[in-house]
Structure formats: structure tokens, C-alpha cells
Chains A and B, each alone.
Chain A
Amino acid sequence: MIPLSWYLALSAVLFTIGVVGVIIQRNVIVLFMCVELMLNAVNLTLVAFSRFLGDMTGQLFVFIVMAVAAAEAAVGLAIIISLFRNRETLNIDEADLLKL
């Protein structure tokens, strides 16, 4: 049986890739995928712990996260589409109206 620590290590790696991607990437789509990656890294942790502890609550959480992620994907993609229509770009740094 694969020990718990392997799952956690994999999850940490995935999460870090997501974080770094969000910070260094400029393409909105990629950025978006990085966010999904982070969510799934957390999901993996939850499932692993759930299995390890024999408690189903963790897996229940995963369902909630997936539902939220689905909603977030719908909203996020809508924003991306409207951003592209207005700006003809997917570069996140060009959407900077909030700056002074």
C-alpha cells in the first residue's frame, strides 16, 4: 500500500505548481487552469486523509469543492470571454483598470 506521505507530497507538488503558475503566468486561461490545479491538490489531500483516517467527511468536502469549482469555472470562463471581447487579449496584465 502506498503510504500517506506520498499522497501528501504529490499534493504539495501539485499545489506549488499551481501557486507558481498563478504568479508567473500571464495567459488568463493558463492562470485559470493553475487555480483548478490548486483546488485539485487540496482535493487529493482530503481524499487521502479521509481514507487514512477512515472518516467519510473528507470525501464529502471534496464533493463540495468540486461543486464550487464547477461554479467558479462557469463564472471564470464567462469573465474571460467578456474580457477577450472587450480587449482582444488574454494577457492578464493588460486588464489593469484598477491601478491608480
Chain B
Amino acid sequence: MLKWIVLAPLIGAIINGFFGKRLGEKLIGLIASASVGVSALLAFTVFFTKLLPLPVGERVITEHFFTWIKVGNFQADFAYLLDPLSGIYILFITGVGLLIHIYATGYMHGDPGYYRFFTYLNLFMFMMLTLVLADNLLLLFVGWEGVGLCSYLLIGYYIRRQEAGDAAKKAFITNRIGDFGYMIAMFLVFTTFGTISFVAKGGVPSFLEQAAALSPEAIWTFGTMTGIALLLFVGATGKSAQIPLFVWLPDAMAGPTPVSALIHAATMVTAGVYLTARCSAVVVKSPTAMAVMAVIGAATAIFAATIGLAQNDIKKVLAYSTVSQLGYMFLACGVGAITAGVFHVVTHAFFKALLFLGSGSVIHGMHEEQDIRRMGGLKKYMPITFATMMAGWLAISGFPLLSGFFSKDEILWKTWSTTALPHGWGKFLWVIAALTALITAIYMTRMMVMTFFGESRFGKGHGHTDHHGDAHHGDDHGHGHHGDPHESPAVMWVPLAVLAVLSIVGGFIGVPAALGGSNHFEHFLEPVIAHVVPAGEATHAVPATVEHGGAEAHSAAPASTEAHGDAHHDVGTERLFTVISVLLGFLGIGLGAAVWLKNPLKSMPKLLENKYYVDEIYETTVIQPLEHTSRDLLWKVVDVKIIDGVVNGAARTFAGLSGILRHTQSGYARNYAAVILIGAIIIIGYFGFLATR
């Protein structure tokens, strides 16, 4: 059953890939959406009828597809693992994925590469599901690389545009750096634990169980665990766009908007968080790695948020917002609130997919205009898009009771009250995170105000659309390029509406206890997430990993009661912080509205508009030196002079030597006979000499 969740989109991709050229648009869209639909249906069925009825500690379903590699004691299978963590992931991946597929059938209408687009999109779904359902690090890596490949193909989807190709290469190469870390981490896991599986196999406990059982006093534990955790985090920084490898994500917006929504907001970029949560047993063993993760996460969050303040491309604003929100997720992982991080992944998938699809609808309605300076007043032209995007905007800004409010509030509170980091760090990181929340509300308000409110600023200068936008080559919308903005068709706004509803109510799966909820989400995830050892305490960590049998339930129980104890203790403070974050959200919205309603074209600091010159810094410190060394040293000196010199020199030496030797070849048979004779005489003489001695 699990394997069909994964394989259904692959079948769709194969059909569309091989026969799509001859199928009509309707059929292609139907095949692509149906294959994801089947996958979603199966995912929901398995989740609710198979996984949920199991007792809390034993919610693990494994399925062996086939043995892939078996060498010595190394084993990697195509085997799938469904537990609460991967369960949540497949639900929102297939659910949001299905909505985006349906939306894309409308958005990509009339595009000559229609079948190609859906082939890639289905292939992506296959790879993403492989990633989250994999039961070992190597199969996870297959999915990890696969989504990277599909991301590359889809960013560069508009093959005629130079910047799309450049952005695709940038994304791929940047991700390779992260993948390098992942691979080394994988090798290290194998040499340390002798297995890379997440589940016990052939009597060998999974590396997660082994890691959880390690004594924290062992001197080597600390170093190796820090190494593995940090290298995994390097992989995560690439895939999930954290400092210093975040540069590819904003450029990735050169791809079609549904791709930005699916891959670069909702699913693929959260793979890093998934990896961290999956390997939490290793990560929590290393306070250093967690501190690094928290600091990088917080730094990325505020860094990207400030850049988002000054962007004028609607998709760029959302891209930086995504980077910033991913920073939040890693901050949560770093402070030991991994469940809160995953919770934010889910709510973020809802509202960011919504915002991206909404921006796609705007771009579509504006005839490929992406610059919010040339929008304004769109709410009367596109009421449905406006209403749905409102939901996303309020959710990400932390408006009370919407999904983003609960998850972000959870992260902020867990950051303040963290026990995983040295004293005082949590407070400092909280300040950064709270500031980021404020800035998030401001820039999202700015984007919404500039797009939907005020006077319309289009109609006069429509000449510059050519170098912007998802230029639909061969665009044959019946209404030409100079019509008024129009509302998108139902096939596009229905997914928007569904996502809007999810963005509004999605947070109620994880209402914290302090607000009168029972945080189902956290309790559901608890058995698969390792618990954090408070900094400075060398107590035995709870071995809460994926395993069969009753030992699991036994060990998870005291941990959750402990968590309850904490919660009761600080209810007052937690509520106070909730109030603070609500106030911050309102302040941000108010500030944004006050500034940009009055002057929508207010100029922003150049430093922010140019993204802190990070691309330029990389250009001068990494790319230029690399290029110079490659061209002036490696090519012109090492290759041309040394390598070619050695090869050509050897050839010339032999040519010279044979030039001398060729004179012995006179061509006269009698000469050769004479040489043979002389040789014979010499040999006979030699033996004669030996005999007479």
C-alpha cells in the first residue's frame, strides 16, 4: 500500500513523459492530477485507517519493496517507513500537491511545454514521497537528489530564458555543496553505527536507537555526534536555503509560479527540517550542533525578512519570506522544539502555498506583470484572489487563531523557555525571532497594500512587461495584453479557497495547553522525536526513536509527563508571550498599512533592495577567484603547460629517438642478414668465452 502512494505519481510522470506530446491538454492535466489524487487518497486512507488506530507508542508501519544494495553488513533497501513524522509529511505533501496540480492545469493553460511541466511535477511528487517515506539514509538521499533534480528542471522550465537557466544551475550547484555534507554525514553514520537504517533490521537496531542509547559521558560520543549533526545540517542548509546557502531560493522564482508554491515553499525546502526531525536522536546528542542550528536559523530569519522588506517583485518578497520562515523552523529545531518546527512546516505549507498561488493568480490576471510597483487597487478586479490572500497574509503575520499564529507563537515561546542552549541564549534568540515576526508582518502588509489597495498604478506603462514575469510563450489568452486585470478561472481559485480555509483553521491541530488546547500535534509526534537533554545536565536521554515493541511506550511516557509539568509551571508566562506576539503582529500590520497606504512607492534602503549585496559578495569572494584560478592557473598553466607539456614532451622525445634509430633501417635485406650474423657471432663468442674460462 505504501509503495503505491509513492509510485502513483511516477506512473503519471511516465505516461505524460512518453505520450504527453500526443495527448491533449485536458488529458495531460487529468492524468497528472489523478495520479497525485490517487496518491493523496491512499495517503489519507493509510494514515487514518492504519496508522492512527495503532497504540500511541507503536505507530510504525514498514513495507519492504525490494532489497536494493546488500554488501557485507551494509544494507540499503527500497523500503518504506510510515510513522507519525512521515505520516504528517505525506498528508500535506499529497494534499497541497494535489491542489497545486489542479491549480497548475489552469495556470499553465496554453503553454507549449504543458506535458513536460506535468511530467516534471509528477516526478517531483514521486521523489518527494520517496524522501519522506524512505526507511534509510541512502533511499532518503535518492529522494533528496531527485527533488533537487526536479527543482532544477522546473526552475529552468522556461528554456528560452537565460535567467531561468542560470537560476536552475545556481540552485543545483548550491545544493551540491549541501549534498556533500549529507553524504559525509551518511558515511559517518555507517562507520559509527554499522547501519544507516531508521528501523531495526536483521537484529541490528537502527542508528537512531543506537544513538539514543549512547551514554553522554563517553568522550567520543560528543565529537562524532556533533560531526554527524553538523554535516546533516550542512545538507539541510542547502536544501532548506539557510545562511550561507540560501542564495539559490530567491533566484528559483524564475520557474513557473505553481512550482514556486509546491517545491520552493511548501515541500522540498522543508526537507531539511524533515531530516533534522528524522535524525533528532543524533541531533539532540550534540548541544553544539543545536546551538549552531538555532543561531543560523535565527540569523537567516531576520536577514531574509529585512531583505523581503525592500523587494518589488511579488514572488521575490514571498521567496525571502520563505527563507525567513525556514529560518524559524531551524531555530525551533535548534532550541529543541523540533515538534514546533514540524508544526510550522505544516502551517507554512498551507499559507505560503496559498500566498504563492495567489501571487500566481495576480500575475496571471495582470498579464505576466510581477512588479508590485505597477499594481495597486487590484481588490476590485480580483475579489476572490484578494479574499484568499488576505487569509494567507493574516496567517503569516500571526493574526490570532489563524494557523501561522499558533505555530509561530509556539516557536517563540519555546525559544524563550529553551533548556537546550546555555542560559541567556534563548532570550537573545527570542528577541531576534520576535523582531523577525514584526518585520514579517510589515513586509507582508507592504506587499498586500501595494498589490491590492490604493490607486491602481498600471495601464500607463505596460511596455515593460516583456522582461518580467512567467512569460507564457505562445500565450493565447483570448484577451490580448492590454485588457484590465481579470479574476482567474475557477480551476485556479478553488484550490486557493481550499488553502485559505486550511490556513485559517490549520492551526487548531496544535493549540498549546496554555491556550486551552491539548496540542494534539505535539503529542502525536512525540514518540518519534528525541527529547532534549537540558544543557549542562548529563542525564540519560530518553531513547524515543522508531522501534517496535513495548519498550518504546514505556520510555516515551515519563517524557511527556515531564513536558506537562513544565507547561503547567509556566502557563502564565506563556500566555504573556502569546499576547506579546499578537501585539507584534498587529503592530507590524499597522505600521505597514500606515506607511504604504499613504505612499505605496516609498523607496527602501538600497542595501536591502540589493539583498545586502550577498550575490555580489559571493561573486567576488567565491566565483571570481574560482574562475580566475580555473582559467589562469588550472587551464593556462596546469593543463596547457604542465599536463599537455608532459604528454607532448614524451611524444617529442620518442619522435627524436626514433629519428635516430630509423637510420638502422636501410631496407637492404643483406644488411639485415649481416646484422643477424654479427649478432650470432657475438653470442657464440660470448658462450665460447664462458666455456674457455
Q: C-beta contact mask, B642-666 vs A, less than 8 Å → 1, else 0?
A: 0000000000000000000011011
Cβ–Cβ < 8 Å partners of B663 in chain A: 100
Let me know if A23 and B674 touch, CB within 8 A: yes
Q: Complex formed: what's the CA distance from A100 to B665 in Å?
A: 7
Question: Does A12 touch B at the CB level, under 8 Å?
Answer: no
Question: Does B668 touch A at the CB level, under 8 Å?
Answer: yes
A93, A97, A98, A100: which contacts B670 (Cβ < 8 A)? Answer: A93
Q: With contacts A19-B677, A23-B677 known, is A96 near B670, CB below 8 A?
A: no
Cβ–Cβ < 8 Å partners of B674 in chain A: 23
Question: Does A99 touch B at the CB level, under 8 Å?
Answer: yes
Let me know if B669 and A99 touch, CB within 8 A: no
Q: Complex formed: what's the CA distance from A97 to B665 in Å?
A: 10
Cβ–Cβ < 8 Å partners of B662 in chain A: 100
Cβ–Cβ < 8 Å partners of A23 in chain B: 670, 673-674, 677
Q: How far is the CB of A88 from chain B (nearest CB, A)?
A: 18
Let me know if B667 and A99 touch, CB within 8 A: yes
Q: Complex formed: what's the CA distance from A85 to B579 in Å?
A: 113
Cβ–Cβ < 8 Å partners of A98 in chain B: 665, 667
Let me know if B669 and A92 touch, CB within 8 A: yes
Question: Does A4 touch B at the CB level, under 8 Å?
Answer: no
Q: Complex formed: what's the CA distance from A93 to B666 in Å?
A: 10
Q: How far is the CB of B552 from chain A (nearest CB, A)?
A: 86
Q: Complex formed: what's the CA distance from A16 to B670 in Å?
A: 15
Cβ–Cβ < 8 Å partners of B666 in chain A: 96, 99
Q: Complex formed: what's the CA distance from A19 to B677 in Å?
A: 8
Let me know if B665 and A99 touch, CB within 8 A: yes
Cβ–Cβ < 8 Å partners of B668 in chain A: 92-93, 96, 99
Question: Does A60 touch B at the CB level, under 8 Å?
Answer: no
Interfacial residues of chain A within 1-55, with CB under 8 A of chain B in the complex? 19, 22-26, 31
Q: Complex formed: what's the CA distance from A31 to B673 in Å?
A: 11
Q: How far is the CB of A45 from chain B (nearest CB, A)?
A: 14
Cβ–Cβ < 8 Å partners of A25 in chain B: 670
Q: Complex formed: what's the CA distance from A99 to B673 in Å?
A: 15
Q: How far is the CB of B677 from chain A (nearest CB, A)?
A: 6
Q: Complex formed: what's the CA distance from A22 to B673 in Å?
A: 7
State how many residues of chain B have any CB contact under 8 Å with chain A. Answer: 11
Q: Complex formed: what's the CA distance from A55 to B103 in Å?
A: 104
Question: Does A95 touch B at the CB level, under 8 Å?
Answer: yes
Closest to B659 in A: A100
Interfacial residues of chain B within 196-249, with CB under 8 A of chain A in the complex? none
Q: How far is the CB of A94 from chain B (nearest CB, A)?
A: 10
Cβ–Cβ < 8 Å partners of B667 in chain A: 96-100
Q: How far is the CB of B687 from chain A (nearest CB, A)?
A: 16
Q: Complex formed: what's the CA distance from A92 to B667 in Å?
A: 10
Cβ–Cβ < 8 Å partners of A97 in chain B: 667
Q: How far is the CB of B657 from chain A (nearest CB, A)?
A: 15
Cβ–Cβ < 8 Å partners of B677 in chain A: 19, 22-23
Cβ–Cβ < 8 Å partners of B673 in chain A: 22-23
Closest to B666 in A: A99
Interfacial residues of chain B within 99-157, with CB under 8 A of chain A in the complex? none
Cβ–Cβ < 8 Å partners of A99 in chain B: 665-668
Q: Complex formed: what's the CA distance from A93 to B662 in Å?
A: 18
Q: With contacts A19-B677, A23-B677 known, is A92 near B665, CB below 8 A?
A: no
> Which of B663, B665, B666, B669 has the largest number of chain A CB atoms within 10 A?
B669
Q: How far is the CB of B674 from chain A (nearest CB, A)?
A: 5
Q: Complex formed: what's the CA distance from A97 to B663 in Å?
A: 14
Cβ–Cβ < 8 Å partners of A22 in chain B: 670, 673, 677
Q: Complex formed: what's the CA distance from A95 to B666 in Å?
A: 11
Q: How far is the CB of A11 from chain B (nearest CB, A)?
A: 15
Q: Complex formed: what's the CA distance from A96 to B666 in Å?
A: 8
Q: Complex formed: what's the CA distance from A92 to B671 in Å?
A: 11
Closest to A92 in B: B669
Q: Complex formed: what's the CA distance from A45 to B669 in Å?
A: 27
Q: How far is the CB of B665 from chain A (nearest CB, A)?
A: 6
> Which of A19, A25, A95, A97 has the largest number of chain B CB atoms within 10 A?
A19
Closest to A22 in B: B673
Q: Complex formed: what's the CA distance from A65 to B545 in Å?
A: 87
Cβ–Cβ < 8 Å partners of A93 in chain B: 668, 670
Closest to A95 in B: B669
Cβ–Cβ < 8 Å partners of A19 in chain B: 677
Q: Complex formed: what's the CA distance from A92 to B666 in Å?
A: 13
Q: Complex formed: what's the CA distance from A25 to B662 in Å?
A: 25
Cβ–Cβ < 8 Å partners of A95 in chain B: 669
Closest to B667 in A: A99
Q: Complex formed: what's the CA distance from A96 to B662 in Å?
A: 14
Cβ–Cβ < 8 Å partners of A24 in chain B: 670
Q: Complex formed: what's the CA distance from A99 to B669 in Å?
A: 10
Cβ–Cβ < 8 Å partners of B665 in chain A: 98-100
Q: How far is the CB of B212 from chain A (nearest CB, A)?
A: 80
Q: How far is the CB of A14 from chain B (nearest CB, A)?
A: 15
Closest to A98 in B: B667
Q: Complex formed: what's the CA distance from A23 to B669 in Å?
A: 9
Closest to B672 in A: A98
Cβ–Cβ < 8 Å partners of B670 in chain A: 22-26, 31, 92-93
> Which of B665, B667, B674 has the largest number of chain A CB atoms within 10 A?
B667
Q: Complex formed: what's the CA distance from A31 to B677 in Å?
A: 15
Closest to A26 in B: B670
Closest to A24 in B: B670
Closest to A97 in B: B667
Closest to B676 in A: A22
Closest to B664 in A: A100
Q: How far is the CB of A84 from chain B (nearest CB, A)?
A: 15
Q: How far is the CB of B653 from chain A (nearest CB, A)?
A: 19
- What are 19 inter-chain pairs, A to B, with CB distance below 8 A? A19-B677, A22-B670, A22-B677, A23-B673, A23-B674, A23-B677, A24-B670, A31-B669, A31-B670, A92-B670, A93-B668, A93-B670, A96-B667, A98-B665, A99-B665, A99-B667, A99-B668, A100-B662, A100-B665
Counting from the closest, the 10 A-B pairs by CB-CB distance are A99-B667, A96-B667, A98-B667, A22-B673, A100-B662, A92-B669, A23-B674, A99-B666, A23-B670, A93-B668
B residues with CB within 8 A of A? 662-663, 665-670, 673-674, 677
Q: A23-B673, A96-B668 known; 13 other A-B pairs, CB under 8 Å?
A: A22-B677, A23-B670, A23-B674, A24-B670, A26-B670, A93-B668, A93-B670, A96-B666, A96-B667, A98-B665, A99-B666, A100-B662, A100-B663
